[in-house]
Amino acid sequence: MNASISKKICLIGDFAVGKTSLVRRFVDEAFSDDYLTTVGVKISTKRVRLPKGSEVKLIVWDIAGHERLSTVSKTYLQGASGYVLVADGTRANTLQTALALKAQVDPLLHEPPWVGLLNKYDLEAEWEVTATQQQTLLKQGWSLSSAKTGTGVEAAFLRLAEMMLP
């Protein structure tokens, strides 16, 4: 019973942006090229130690990708202390979806801490999100990640955990 603090976080974003892959990279340090769409929600847990020394157990709710929030996913979001918003750099429209989802989630959860991830950075050559767009997004709480190589994944979850702990 060393980490007696647990926090619920959710992963939100369009279909196939890499939510499940990011969780898998973070929790199991593994990756697969296969795409198995999430049905409903998948829950994983991971204990993290923050640089300040405190420990927290993250209860990660990986919610199935949607363009808009369904009633069920709204229920899944309840009680989350923070969320990870994911977009796929190779498909600019997933960024639009992410921003629309954010606008729905924020009032629902009373503007909780969040981090944005522009994922699939290993495919940078195929990116549709332009360099200038990236510059703006990086200033607004987004960062670059690749579930495939692991770049930026753990750091993002840790950053979110730090923001959530009072």
Partner 1 sequence: MSQHSEYEELQSLLLGNNKQLLQALKARIENPERRTRDVAEVLSAALHLAAQDKALRTALREPMQDAIRDSIRRNPHEIADLLYPVIFPAIRQSIEETLRAFVERIDTLIQQRFSVHALKWRVEAWRTGLPYTEVMLRHSIKYGVEHLLLIQNQSGLLLKHVHSKDALKTDSDAVSAMLTAIESFVRDSFSNTDKERLDRITFGQFMIHLAHGPHATLASVVRGLAPPDYLMRLKELLEDIHAAAAIQLRDFNGDTRQLDAIEPLLQRGFEREYVKPKAKHAASRPPRSLIKRGAMVAGVLLIGIVALSTYRHFEQQGIAALGQRLDAVPGVVVENITHRGDHWVVTGLRDPYAATPEQLLESAGKVGKKITFNLHPYVSLDPEIIFKKALPDLEIPAGLKIATESGMLQLSGQVPLDWYLRLRHTLNETQGSPLLDIRNLQIDLPSAERSIQNLLAGSNVLVTRNADALLVTGNLTPDDATRLQALIGQLSGKLSIELQKTAVTP
Ligand X SMILES: Nc1nc2c(ncn2[C@@H]2O[C@H](COP(=O)(O)OP(=O)(O)OP(=O)(O)O)[C@@H](O)[C@H]2O)c(=O)[nH]1
Q: Which does 2 bind (CB under 5 to 8 A by kind): Mg ion, ligand X, partner 1, none?
A: none
Per the DSSP assignment, residues forming a β-bridge with 82 are 9
Q: Judged by CB under 5 A, does residue 20 bind Mg ion?
A: yes
Please answer whether residues 42 and 145 qualify as being in contact, where contact means their C-beta atoms are separated by less than 8 angstroms: no
Q: Output the six-digit token pair for 166.
A: 């009072």
Instruction: Looking at residues 29 to 68 of the shown chain, list those that interact with partner 1 (rule: CB under 8 A).
Output: 40-41, 43-45, 56-57, 59, 61
Q: How far apart are CA 105 and CA 148, in angstroms?
A: 27
Task: Report the residue number whose CB is nearest to ligand X.
Answer: 65
Q: Which stretch binds ligand X (CB under 6 A): 2-10, 27-35, 53-61, 99-107?
A: 27-35
Query: Which is closer to Mg ion, CB of 38 or CB of 151?
Result: 38
Q: How far apart are CA 159 and CA 4, in angstroms?
A: 20
Count CB-CB contacts under 10 A for residue 121.
20
Residue 143 CA from chain centroid, whole number:
11
Residues with Cβ within 8 Å of residue 132, at least 6 apart in sequence: none
Q: Which stretch binds Mg ion (CB under 5 A): 4-12, 20-28, 107-115, 123-131?
A: 20-28
The residue within the footprint of Mg ion, chosen from 15, 38, 150, 163 (CB under 5 A), is 38
Please answer whether residues 41 and 113 qualify as being in contact, where contact means their C-beta atoms are separated by less than 8 angstroms: no
The residue within the footprint of partner 1, chosen from 32, 78, 96, 149 (CB under 8 A), is 78
Query: Which residues of the shown chain bind Mg ion in the complex (CB under 5 A)?
Result: 19-20, 38
Q: Note the residues at the interface with partner 1 (CB under 8 A).
A: 1, 4-8, 40-41, 43-45, 56-57, 59, 61, 71-72, 75-76, 78-81
